[in-house]
Amino acid sequence: MARATDFLSQTSGKLDEMFQTRQTDHGTILARNPKPRGMTRRSEKQANTRCQLANVSANYQLFRCKKMQSFEGKEAGQNDFNIFVQVNYDRNPVFITKQDRKCGGCVLGNYQYSLGSLNPIVISLNAGGVLVTNIGLGSLVIDANTTVGEFSAAVLANNKDWQADDQLTFFYAEQMVDSEGVPRASMDPYRMVMNTTDQTKLWNVVSALGFSSVAAAGTGYVLGMGIALSNAGGSWIHSRNDGDGEKQVSTQRMKVVSDILASYQGEAAFLASAKSYGGINTREDFLDPVSTMADLGVASATVNAGGMEMSSGGGSGSGTQQGGNSGGNSGGAETPTVTAPTISGDTPFEESTEVTMSGPADATIHYTLDGSTPTSASTAYTEALTLTDTTTVKAIAVKDNVSSSVASRTFTKGSGSGGGVQGED
């Protein structure tokens, strides 16, 4: 928002389809008109991102409940959800509607559930539709009497990447559709630790679903599922404590075989999901700040201690600015100014929201998420942020060592109102 002078200070109300003026305790301000009810703000790219996040977050919620530490090397301030979104966004996207998501809907996808430094477990479907791994078992045929020790010995003897005390986890997820047509999913983990002296029956610890021997193409057996994969997904993760309190994991992706997956992918699924979230803004008459300001009779803008101030006229220096700066600018150079960045994203939000920032060309945006005032030493904005909790984002734009005023916006988790208006400190 900006404080206006001259003829603008004498007006109040809607100026055109884009702007309006308001009278405040600080003078007259120039503001964007409110978005008409029912008009979407999202471009096609923004809608695509929002619609993908709905099902990505649903799958993450399934996985998160299993308390598996599956992402190595998280940076400070980064959580598992941020990484889960990054590694799965725009890769075989799945789209569900807002109504399905609000009802707890979830479509199992071939999502990546771990990221780490251990060698991946290779999985594939054999001719019988059974999901198998490249974990060799030699001659071991697993049955109800096989012990954890026997299984561990077979794995360690036939696979050089495995060590004693390594953990193997199998995730089994089932896909279903309820009586209302809402897609639903469930997930169960089965874990065991490699211990050659453990005499506990293996299937008393884990399930035959993911701990069965399958005849290999050559000789011997490999680890696989006990049934053919149908309307379900499966994946194994290898993990290890490195001795320094950190966990190493293998990078794995869920393999899904489902009757409904294809119907939630592609253009038709995207458009149905986008429509449920308010549609796509296909307008091309985007705001051109220069021509719009000229149409309003505003030729220049300067910044002083009172905030951004506008002067009307053709730039001859005859205008008078409020806030203590009087006189024209024809007699000297103008103080360099930088426009504050724009902070965009949905608020309030249900589970997560993607926040983007934009600013002047060649400017660097710096931001904070803890409510403190950003400086040029604050974190630099390089890519969209994913927020999962109520957060106040503050940002400045810096160009040629000149900083803009502070833009601030609060993104609220939950159905309550508030925080949706961007302002400047």
The yes-or-no verdict on residue 177 having pLDDT over 80 is: yes
pLDDT reported for residue 45:
86
Domains parsed from the chain with CATH numbers: 45-276 (no CATH), 338-425 (2.60.40)
Give CA–CA dist 286/292, Å, rounded. Answer: 11
| Rounded average pLDDT over 6-28 | 64
Report residue 293's pLDDT band, with 50, 70 and 90 as the boundaries: very low
What percentage of the chain exceeds 90 in pLDDT?
51
Most confident segment among 12-21, 205-214, 269-278, 281-290: 205-214
The yes-or-no verdict on residue 282 having pLDDT over 50 is: yes
Cβ proximity of 309 and 301 under 8 Å: yes
Q: Which is higher by pLDDT, 136 or 15?
A: 136
Q: Worst-scoring range by mean pLDDT, 25-39, 233-247, 390-404?
A: 25-39
367-392 in b/e burial notation, b at 16+ Cβ within 10 A?
bbbeeeebeeebeebeeebbbbebbe
pLDDT reported for residue 330:
43
The yes-or-no verdict on residue 235 having pLDDT over 60 is: yes
Report residue 284's pLDDT band, with 50, 70 and 90 as the boundaries: low
The yes-or-no verdict on residue 188 having pLDDT over 70 is: yes
Q: Tokens representing 318?
A: 């005859």
Give CA–CA dist 137/105, Å, rounded. Answer: 38
Cβ proximity of 120 and 76 under 8 Å: no
Report residue 138's pLDDT band, with 50, 70 and 90 as the boundaries: very high
pLDDT reported for residue 421:
46
Which of 234, 211, 45 shows the shortest CA–CA distance to 141? 211
Give CA–CA dist 22/170, Å, rounded. Answer: 61
pLDDT reported for residue 362:
84
Residue with tokens 């928002």: 1
The yes-or-no verdict on residue 318 having pLDDT over 60 is: no
Total length of the chain: 425
Most confident segment among 53-62, 179-188, 309-318, 356-365: 179-188
Q: Worst-scoring range by mean pLDDT, 65-74, 234-243, 315-324?
A: 315-324
Cβ proximity of 55 and 85 under 8 Å: no
Q: Which is higher by pLDDT, 35 or 398?
A: 398
Which of 188, 193, 154 shows the shortest CA–CA distance to 170? 188
Which 3 state secondary structure label does DSSP give 64? helix
The yes-or-no verdict on residue 214 having pLDDT over 50 is: yes
pLDDT reported for residue 38:
54
Cβ proximity of 400 and 422 under 8 Å: no
Which of 185, 330, 346, 193 shows the shortest CA–CA distance to 264? 185
Report residue 96's pLDDT band, with 50, 70 and 90 as the boundaries: very high
pLDDT reported for residue 14:
64
Give CA–CA dist 155/223, Å, rounded. Answer: 9
Q: What's the chain's average pLDDT?
A: 82
| Rounded average pLDDT over 261-287 | 84
The yes-or-no verdict on residue 295 having pLDDT over 90 is: no
Cβ proximity of 396 and 341 under 8 Å: yes
| Rounded average pLDDT over 17-30 | 68
Report residue 327's pLDDT band, with 50, 70 and 90 as the boundaries: very low
Report residue 114's pLDDT band, with 50, 70 and 90 as the boundaries: very high
The yes-or-no verdict on residue 56 having pLDDT over 80 is: yes
Most confident segment among 32-41, 106-115, 383-392: 106-115
Give CA–CA dist 301/56, Å, rounded. Answer: 44
Residue with tokens 């600018």: 329
H-only helix segments in 65-205: 80-88, 98-102, 148-158, 202-205
Report residue 311's pLDDT band, with 50, 70 and 90 as the boundaries: very low
pLDDT reported for residue 321:
41
pLDDT reported for residue 323:
40
Residues 6+ apart with CB under 8 A from 193: 165, 166, 167
Cβ proximity of 320 and 311 under 8 Å: yes
Q: Worst-scoring range by mean pLDDT, 147-156, 261-270, 318-327?
A: 318-327
Residue with tokens 């930088």: 338
